[in-house]
Amino acid sequence: MSQVPPQTDWLATCPKGLELLLAEELQAIGAEGIKETVAAVHFKGPMEVAYRACLWSRLANRVLKPLHSFMLNESEDLYDQCNEIPWETHFSAAQSIAIDFIGTSRLIDNTMYGSQRVKDAVVDRIRRIEGERPNVDTKNPDIRIQVRQHKGRVSVSLDISGESLHRRGYRTGQGSAPIKENLAVALLLRAGWPAMIKEGGALLDPMCGSGTLIIEGAMMAADIAPGMLRERYGFDQWLQHDPELWQTLVDEAHQRKTTGLENLELDIRGYDANPRVLEYTTKNIENAGLDDHIRLAHKPIDQFGKPTAERGLLLTNPPYGERLGEVEELIPLYQKLGTVLQKNFTGWRAAIFTGNLELGRETDLSPTKQYSLFNGTIPCKLLVFEDMSSKSASIAARLSTPAPAQKLTEGATMVLNRLKKNQRKLESWRKKSDISCYRLYDADIPEYAVAVDIYDQSIYVQEYAPPNTISEKVARERFAEIKLAVKEYSANFRGKIYYKERRRQKGDSQYERLNEGPSDTLQVSEGSAQFEVNLSDYLDTGLFLDHRPVRSLIGELAAGKRFLNLFCYTAAASVQAALAGASSSLSIDMSNTYLDWAQRNFDLNSLRAGKHKLLRADCLKWLEVEGEQYDVIFLDPPTFSNSKKMDTVLDIQRDHGDLIRACMGKLASGGTLVFSNNFRKFKMDELTLRQFDCENITPKTLDVDFERNPRIHNVWLITRRETFG
């Protein structure tokens, strides 16, 4: 086995803002020659120091062994220089590799191309020396190589950590918007937890979510190496790996853990208002082996009394309106937190991590220290409060004094005026049509790109993902102006305001809950039909408002007929067909979530299960099987789906012709296929146009509230061509 030189250059990467903390940590484990850079720290040391960084670093993402660095003067330099690296000293042809290529430049402007060229250079060299080439495995490679280009310089490194070190291995379940483990450690360090450990103080998180803060705090207090639960490292198959040295360090870590847990007598507790989240937390704590040392309880923030410990650290990461809720609705939560801290936690230190400083001010506490950190790409503040006792006298005054009204900006005023104008325009149509759920605003002012829907007395705002040309700061400011306008507009509404961000959905993401708290469901009407809508939990509400005329058309077509609803979602079209007198209906979808929802819609409308059935199946596979025919078929597939439950990937532009032909095989003589999709650039397949009578009825399926967005969907009536013998 070849030997690594006693002193070697290494590089540890970390989230932006943690560089100083990481440098101090590396120095403590024996690193030398430490030099900080953006999101990384260079250091020197023997193999033992690199191993210790992998096993003991609570802050690093990866530990890299730099192999080569060069200027990229021509595009071919990438291949030539990487081909000169002695890869045969690091791995053999029998092992698998993966290339992580980071950064673009004028010469290499595509990371996939850069990765491909590096891969070619690596495997060509190994093949030249050994006669065989290594395989590529992007998911679980034996060897992971990182290549980064920045300002014309390319750095090539071996990733000896493998999967990011922040993944400790204990977190199998999580609440909403969990923070990463290494960020949790940074918060604990900045909040002064190491000093509190020495003093014997307690640790408490009143909104613990998945438990990351209290688990990492307990691991620090018990001297548990954060890498002990990991099953794999990037160096496991490295030819220069020293298994004996590594095992010695692991054995040492086990001994330190045993001793640390025996001496751990600190009071560490986590609370949360959501019992469902605490089920995940319990499992995470058990996985970390800390179930005898961390206490959990279901308790809302306003039920907190005086803690049993005289001193300690209260550290928490409450929601701040980015992913879990609307900012205005979170103000009472922060106010309650401030009240609890001032009333019951005298003598304690407290720290609040938030991405919204305005919400932090609602605690009515003055931080003694503030630290700027990032939660992913979101800039956040850690607010540290040394003593709350002097603030207790201000509680009553703060709670009794209403917050001053926030003045509307010019942009917010413009949006508010458009909301009012649209309301006046839609009012007579809405009353005449007896419609209570409708679209009020749909990016009418392009700079303020949201859709505003009205569901009876509630307002539902969906933010469109901003284009790449708009900075995150500008997008955030504009959305804040939209919220001001909507809040002002909502003065006459009795319901809540909901905010959601709309992005392209992948796989099963549209089925996943975004809210872990109690669901906000409403029962709404559409003609004689009743539907359940959910405004809190998912990307979609359960009722596509733009399909209102399509559902009405289906009702007319399906009267007395056999109706088939493919990709049925919550089966709203099936409900309308059944209420219009369809003789039977079959509604098919792959999601149990949606089918359960569909059953509730059936129950709301007293529809009998014998005549109107629900089926969980892959529509693509179901269409391949011969069976009953139907007089009216509604085909409304997703634009794109790569759901794990499906055997194939569905691309509606590519696949719609085959999908339509399969449906026509299920269509009875004289029947009608209603085909709909929401792909804005959709173009009907030429073969389909020649085979069948295809009528584009999209303009007829746009109600007044969607006329300004004519590309929101495409709708076609498709029938068999008449033949004359």
> What is the CATH number for 437?
3.30.750.80
Q: Say if 428 falls within a structural domain.
A: yes
Residues 6+ positions from 40 with CB-CB distance below 8 Å: 11, 12, 13, 14, 19
Which CATH number is 214's domain given? 3.40.50.150
Q: What is the percent of the chain where pLDDT is above 90?
A: 71
Q: Say if 233 falls within a structural domain.
A: no
Mark which of 485, 503, 521 sits at the end of a domain: 503
57-93 pLDDT per residue, tens: 999 999 999 999 999 999 999 999 999 999 999 999 9
323-351 pLDDT per residue, tens: 444 577 788 899 999 999 998 999 899 99
Residues 513, 486 share a domain: no
Residues 291, 203 share a domain: yes
Q: Say if 251 falls within a structural domain.
A: no
Q: How far apart are CA 507 and CA 246, in angstroms?
A: 40
Residues 469, 455 share a domain: yes
Q: Say if 302 falls within a structural domain.
A: yes
Specify whether the CB–CB gap between 90 and 144 falls below 8 A: no
Q: How many domains would you assign to the chain?
A: 4
Strand ranges, E, within 192-253:
202-205
**Number of Cβ atoms within 10 Å of the Cβ of 288:** 25
617-669 pLDDT per residue, tens: 999 999 998 889 999 999 999 987 765 555 567 889 999 999 999 999 999 99
Alpha-carbon distance values, 11 to 53, 62, 407 (Å): 10, 8, 49
Average pLDDT, the chain: 89
Burial of 41 by CB count in 10 Å (0-12 exposed, 13-18 middle, 19+ buried)? buried
Q: Specify the pLDDT at position 345.
A: 93
Q: How far apart are CA 640 and CA 332, in angstroms?
A: 40
Residues 647, 550 share a domain: yes
Specify whether the CB–CB gap between 69 and 155 falls below 8 A: yes
Q: Say if 229 falls within a structural domain.
A: no
DSSP states along 608-674: -TTTEEEEE--HHHHTTS----EEEEEE---SEE--TTSSS-EEHHHHHHHHHHHHHTTEEEEEEEE
**Number of Cβ atoms within 10 Å of the Cβ of 428:** 10
Of 226, 221, 224, nearest to 198 by C-alpha is 221
Local structure of residue 180 (DSSP, 8 states): P
Q: Specify the pLDDT at position 647.
A: 58
Mark which of 371, 400, 429 sits at the end of a domain: 400
- Given a cut of 90, whether residue 539 has pLDDT beyond it is no
Mark which of 129, 159, 189 sits at the end of a domain: 159
Alpha-carbon distance values, 27 to 21, 196, 228 (Å): 10, 22, 21
Q: Specify the pLDDT at position 283.
A: 93
Residues 565, 522 share a domain: yes
Specify whether the CB–CB gap between 598 and 619 falls below 8 A: no
The torsion angles phi and psi of 498, rounded to 5 degrees, stand at: -120, 140
Take residue 669 and report the two structure tokens written for it. 């003589």
| Continuous segment of H or E residues that includes residue 188 | helix 181-190
Residues 512, 462 share a domain: no
Beta strands across the sheet bearing 153-159: 32-37, 40-45, 8-13, 62-71, 153-159, 143-150, 96-102, 135-136
Take residue 518 and report the two structure tokens written for it. 């109690």
Residues 438, 550 share a domain: no
Residues 385, 428 share a domain: no
Q: Give the lowest-confidence range in 41-55, 97-111, 156-170, 321-335.
A: 321-335
- Given a cut of 80, whether residue 468 has pLDDT beyond it is no
- Given a cut of 90, whether residue 500 has pLDDT beyond it is no
- Given a cut of 90, whether residue 366 has pLDDT beyond it is no
Q: Say if 259 falls within a structural domain.
A: no
Q: Say if 420 falls within a structural domain.
A: yes
Residues 692, 564 share a domain: yes
Q: Say if 539 falls within a structural domain.
A: yes
Residues 516, 495 share a domain: no
Specify whether the CB–CB gap between 137 and 96 falls below 8 A: yes
Amino acid found at 83: N
Q: Specify the pLDDT at position 518.
A: 53
pLDDT band at 388 (very low <50, low <70, confident <90, very high): low
**Long-range Cβ contacts of 26-29 (<8 Å, 24+ apart):** 26/53, 26/57, 29/53, 29/56, 29/57
pLDDT band at 505 (very low <50, low <70, confident <90, very high): very low
**Long-range Cβ contacts of 367-374 (<8 Å, 24+ apart):** 369/190, 371/190, 372/17, 373/15, 373/17, 373/18, 373/183, 373/186, 373/187, 373/190, 374/15, 374/16, 374/17
Amino acid found at 679: F
Q: Where would I find the H helices in 222-371?
A: 243-263, 275-287, 327-344, 357-361
Q: How far apart are CA 99 and CA 113, in angstroms?
A: 11
553-583 pLDDT per residue, tens: 999 999 999 999 999 999 999 999 999 999 9
Take residue 612 and report the two structure tokens written for it. 């109107």
List the domain range (segments joined by +) for residue 40.
8-159
Q: Give the lowest-confidence range in 416-420, 476-480, 507-511.
A: 507-511
Residues 485, 519 share a domain: no
Please state at what angle helix 181-190 crosses helix 19-28, rounded to 10 degrees.
Answer: 90
Take residue 110 and report the two structure tokens written for it. 């595509």
Residues 372, 410 share a domain: no
